[in-house]
Structure 1
Amino acid sequence: MQVDINVILNDLKTGKTSRTQESLDKLNAILETRFNAGEKDYSIATIGRVSKAQGGVGTVSIRNKTGEHFRLLIDAWATKANTTMKKPPLPQSRKLDTPSDMDLLKRLDDPAMRAVFGQIIAEKNKLKAENRILKQNAEVVVDMRPNKVIHAEQVHQDVEVLPSLDGVLLQGDIEALEDAIDEDKMAQRGWTVSKYGAVKDEDGRPLFKNGFVLAIQKVLAQV
């Protein structure tokens, strides 16, 4: 599409401070390079990350209310490239699929950690199966019979005793688990943790499924 970037850039720079004008020029150079390379991803997250890596404005500055001029410039280049500022869909590839529980388990080199996570996965699958059965057999019954007193000795309960983790994990294993969910180190990598315990990368793609962080926290609480 025929878009005169120079006219748009000069208009955006009008009345701006010298610092803002320099930032616009630097961002424009980055966008021009992407356009010439045939790139189609002009999303704010991607452009902000690339720009910041080259000493330009970052994602936060672009998203802010005061960063409208940056967004308009990005939109102009996106229009010129016959695309939009929305992140293009990722191609279907097994490499981009969320790894399964067993795939994650195979990535662990430490035998002790594999044993712990194997137990967590087994327990999770058991609970999911029980929950599925309960949903399938959900039925509401209204009992109109008179209340009947049941004495404590008449009630038989099966108690399942799970093996303790004490002695299974070495101190190094515990430190490895603590390091895996360390908030500061995740932030340094650009990772985030959802309220359901999933870990996502800086682009919002899932690295570890829901319950990953919560599971480690449960394990650490038992040692």
Structure 2
Amino acid sequence: MTMHPDDLLEQLKKTATARKKRSLELIYEICREQYERGSRDFSVATIARIAADRGGPSKGAIHNKTGDDYKGLIKAWAEHTGGVTRKVRQVSENPYSALIEKIENPALRSMMAGLLAENRQMRREITLLKAEGNRVIDMRPRSAEPREAIQVLPATTGLYPSEIEALRHAVSDRLLKNEGWSCDAEGRVLNEAGRVIFKAGYVSAIRKIIGEKASSEGSPANRIGVNNGKLDVTDVE
């Protein structure tokens, strides 16, 4: 039968140095606290972690051969209180629990535990969302939304008449006819086989830029430009 912790402490202190006496008393005190808080955990890992936080012997020092007195005192407390000297591995949803226990700095250990707890909570929420299922994601192209109108402002720089005339020629009925092309209601340019040469909005956009209606009525040719990212139109004499 193992000696009572009180008796063993007094016996070990008789041959110990002053420094070792303080360490033995610290180990004794930690074991007593474990008992008073109702914990059965008297493993070297737990006792050493608490002791190291208080300036006592580390886990390595207790595990070494020179730490037999410390291990003997811990074992005495475990047997006296019905505790265990080996940490029982608990099944946990957190696979990193063992790693957290190895962090010696208590503040860092607490912070990491908090972060992992938040991670577990988010994983649970994601699992619940997946379980609901049948969620519909709108995959319609954004082009289906109404297009913003182009704002026309007075210009400071722009296209010259020759450039406007080139754009006018690009969408003229003569060019389309000569090339065997046609224009549909959406402003596309199609070849004889019906293949799209220019996408929807091509013809209508150019005609808006060159102000074809104004030109066809005999108005002076327009001069087109960009000012601060907005389309500009001014008359060119």
TM superposition score normalised by structure 2: 0.38
Q: Answer with 1 or 2: which has the greater Rg.
A: 2
Bigger fraction of residues in strand: 2
